[in-house]
């Protein structure tokens, strides 16, 4: 049976491992790819000290999936009087475990906990593969956002 749980600081090594596995898969990096010390150290610091919540999917001793919610606070608006918003990231399930509802369970747990915290909006950047899942859960396209990248 697959266990879906909110990670703690005690899960840091398993969390780091599944996140870096996910990054290799989604970026088509070779198995032997080595991450820079900067991304390793900053990722570890974020998971230990950042305003986030990460869910792990575990089968026996193996972590087979993850999903993270990053929390941010912006200036309050009429639509979001608390200014508390969240961004869903890094939803990943190992290939052999896909199409079993694991990602949906992870995301739904994060959404539930996010609403409990008082956040009023959840955004995400959807891949083509992930779009049907997010639409099923209730996410919709937004015309409100524009992005500038460096």
Would you state the structure tokens that stand for residue 129, as one six-digit string?
């593969």
* Token pair in block for residue 75: 């200036």
CA–CA separation, 15 vs 68, rounded Å?
10
Helix, strand or coil, per DSSP, at residue 92: strand
* CATH architecture of the region 2-137: 3-Layer(aba) Sandwich (3.40)
The residue among 99, 113, 119, 89 whose CA lies nearest residue 6 is 113
Q: Where are the domains of the chain?
A: 2-137
pTM, to two decimals: 0.90
Kindly compute the dihedral angle of the four CA atoms of residues 36, 41, 43, 44, in this order, to the nearest 10 degrees. 140
In this prediction, residue 127 carries a pLDDT of 84
First to last CA, the chain: 44
From first to last of the 150 residues of the chain, give the pLDDT tens digit: 899 999 999 999 999 999 999 999 989 999 999 999 999 999 999 999 999 999 999 999 999 999 999 999 999 988 888 899 999 999 999 999 999 999 999 999 999 999 999 999 999 988 888 899 999 999 988 777 777 668
């Amino acid at each position: 049976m697959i266990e879906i749980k909110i990670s703690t600081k005690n899960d840091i090594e398993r969390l780091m491992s599944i996140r870096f596995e996910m990054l290799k898969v989604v970026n088509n990096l070779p198995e032997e790819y080595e991450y820079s010390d900067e991304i390793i150290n900053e990722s570890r610091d974020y998971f230990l000290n950042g305003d986030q919540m990460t869910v792990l999917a575990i089968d026996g001793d193996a972590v087979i999936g993850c999903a993270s919610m990053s929390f941010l606070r912006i200036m309050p608006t009429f639509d979001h009087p608390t200014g508390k918003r969240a961004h869903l990231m890094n939803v990943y399930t190992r290939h052999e475990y896909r199409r079993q509802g694991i990602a949906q369970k992870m995301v739904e747990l994060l959404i539930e906990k996010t609403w409990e915290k008082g956040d009023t909006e959840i955004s995400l950047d959807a891949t083509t593969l992930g779009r049907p899942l997010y639409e099923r859960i209730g996410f919709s396209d937004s015309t409100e956002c524009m992005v500038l990248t460096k």
